[in-house]
Amino acid sequence: MKKKVGIDDLAVYIPKLYLDAEELAKARGIDPGKITKGLGIEKMSIPDAHEDAATMAAMAALQLMKKNNLNPKDIDFIHVATETGPDAAKPISCYVQGMLEQVYGERCLDHIGAPETKFACVGATYALIDRLAYIASGWNKRKYAIVIATDIAKYDLYSSGESTQGAAAVALLLKENPRLLAYEPEFTGFGTVDDRDFYRPIERTTAVVDGQYSIGCYLRNMRIATDMYKNNLIKFNIIKSDQENLSDKLDLISFHSPFPKMVQYAFASFLIHDWRRFPRWDNILSKIGPEPPRKGLTNVEFYVSKDYKRFRSRFSKIEEFRDEYNAKVANSLIALKLIGNSYTASVWLCMASHFGNGRDNLDDKRLGVCSYGSGSSAIACSFIIQPEYKEVIKKIELMRNLSRRKRISMEVYEDLHEGRFKTDESVISPKKEFALDYIGKEDKNVGYRYYKYIE
């Protein structure tokens, strides 16, 4: 019999510092409205001097283990996805193992598998599918697998990407018969195109991005992935014919959110593609005018063309769109507006934000996940929210933790960004926390990172 596998719980780690978006705008001579309203970002999480993607991952994992009273011997895999790992050879997963053993005891996790997956912001979704498939196959030797998404989104100072930075880690607990979300493996769709929208050459700490082009790649790939997802629903008779609506089968959606406005672009593109075959479409066109020709739908140029952007923008203002957006997407962005981008973690933060801000009964609802990674690949998949979910989400303290952060000045932000602070010069000294202790300088350990749990 087919096993039910999925996400049993999740834990989020957000750095304790943030930069106010209005302050950044003023310092860069930009109208603050462009960042707060145009992009939808109010605050950006900034890691302290003792933090990196590895400490954030370990913090999320530690929180997940503590809140679920996990015994290390019950963990089969710790699988990390990141695009901002500090080492080109050693995976963060192994650093995380070492850090957790400082708390739980030496060699208590030496039995685990510990790979790292990289595919820009979609990496954690690939890692999750791998681990769930492994559990579903029965190959796992222990009950739990942990997948961690961890990233620091960082662009050059004064670049247009600077207003879309941020940082976070999310740890997902996976098992058979999960309490939170059961995965629907048969429907998953992919959309992959070898492209150059965003990348980070090995010698750089900041990403290189072609901003508007990257938006087009996101929309193009998402259309390919959601088409495949829909075809799979048709194949399994969940949608009765090609004429039925996909959006009606999804109760909530969590999109990759490099900035909240991007999710609005993505959801509008998704609905335009989904609704245009249905009777309601004529009524919509009567309100917003004719749709531009759909020739070139597989090209980025189509999605970044002025005509399509204008049409999408008009569509985003009508009541039918606003109602659907408010019901299925808006709650996922409440936390994201206060965090900024966090690459691999972002789509899972949107999921946590849904749970942290929704009031309706979500039992048995279908939650769609639309994940995108530059380079480029999109995954569209779904989960069914489980009856025990209410107990689980009570302990996701995302919004409370966001309200406890410390605001930093532009000066401190720039010093942290440029690595001018030593690891022991943190803005907030680490307490009950993993910290980067020092970086090796001898011949045998040059560049090696030493981490420590600070009581």
Give contact residues for ligand CAA (rule: CB under 6 A): 31, 33-34, 37-39, 121, 160-161, 163-164, 197-198, 209, 211-212, 214-215, 218, 256, 258-259, 261-262, 313, 341, 343, 372, 374
Considering the complex, state which of residue 71 and residue 160 has its C-beta at the smaller distance from ligand CAA: 160
CB of 37 to ligand CAA, least distance (A): 4
Q: Tokens representing 122?
A: 């979609």
Contact between 46 and 14 (Cβ < 8 Å)? no
| Lookup result for tokens 């926390």 | 433
CB of 375 to ligand CAA, least distance (A): 9
Closest CA to 113 of 88, 134, 89, 138: 134
Closest CA to 189 of 231, 137, 140: 231
Sign of CA pseudo-dihedral 254, 212, 375, 226: positive
Q: What is the residue type of 370?
A: C
CB of 30 to ligand CAA, least distance (A): 8
Considering the complex, state which of residue 38 and residue 115 has its C-beta at the smaller distance from ligand CAA: 38
Residue nearest to ligand CAA (CB): 38
Q: How many CB atoms lie within 10 A of CB 213?
A: 18
Q: What is the residue type of 222?
A: M
Closest CA to 337 of 260, 418, 256: 260
208 bridge partner residues: 199
CB of 348 to ligand CAA, least distance (A): 13
CB of 282 to ligand CAA, least distance (A): 25
Maximum CA extent, the chain: 71
d(CA 180, CA 5): 10
Considering the complex, state which of residue 212 and residue 361 has its C-beta at the smaller distance from ligand CAA: 212
Cα R_g (the chain), whole angstroms: 22
CB of 91 to ligand CAA, least distance (A): 21
Considering the complex, state which of residue 30 and residue 238 has its C-beta at the smaller distance from ligand CAA: 30
| Lookup result for tokens 């507006």 | 337
Considering the complex, state which of residue 255 and residue 275 has its C-beta at the smaller distance from ligand CAA: 255
Considering the complex, state which of residue 303 and residue 389 has its C-beta at the smaller distance from ligand CAA: 303
CB of 119 to ligand CAA, least distance (A): 11
Contact between 233 and 250 (Cβ < 8 Å)? no
Closest CA to 429 of 404, 396, 455: 455
Considering the complex, state which of residue 276 and residue 309 has its C-beta at the smaller distance from ligand CAA: 309
CB of 198 to ligand CAA, least distance (A): 5
What's the angle, vertex CA 433, arms to CA 432 and CA 438, rounded to 5?
A: 130
End-to-end CA distance of the chain: 47
Q: How many CB atoms lie within 10 A of CB 305?
A: 16
Q: Tokens representing 353?
A: 């934000």
DSSP E strand stretches across 75-210? 75-81, 116-117, 144-153, 166-176, 181-183, 189-192, 198-199, 208-209
CB of 269 to ligand CAA, least distance (A): 12
Considering the complex, state which of residue 9 and residue 197 has its C-beta at the smaller distance from ligand CAA: 197
Considering the complex, state which of residue 188 and residue 316 has its C-beta at the smaller distance from ligand CAA: 316
CB of 16 to ligand CAA, least distance (A): 23
Considering the complex, state which of residue 70 and residue 370 has its C-beta at the smaller distance from ligand CAA: 370
CB of 388 to ligand CAA, least distance (A): 32
Considering the complex, state which of residue 12 and residue 239 has its C-beta at the smaller distance from ligand CAA: 12
To 10 degrees, the CA torsion angle through 294, 299, 304, 310?
10
Q: Cα–chain-centroid distance for residue 98?
A: 25
**Helices of type H across 31-87:** 32-33, 53-67
Considering the complex, state which of residue 145 and residue 168 has its C-beta at the smaller distance from ligand CAA: 168
Phi first, then psi: give them for residue 77, nearest 5 degrees. -140, 145
Residues in Cβ contact with 279 at an 8 Å cutoff, skipping those fewer than 6 apart: none
CB of 224 to ligand CAA, least distance (A): 15
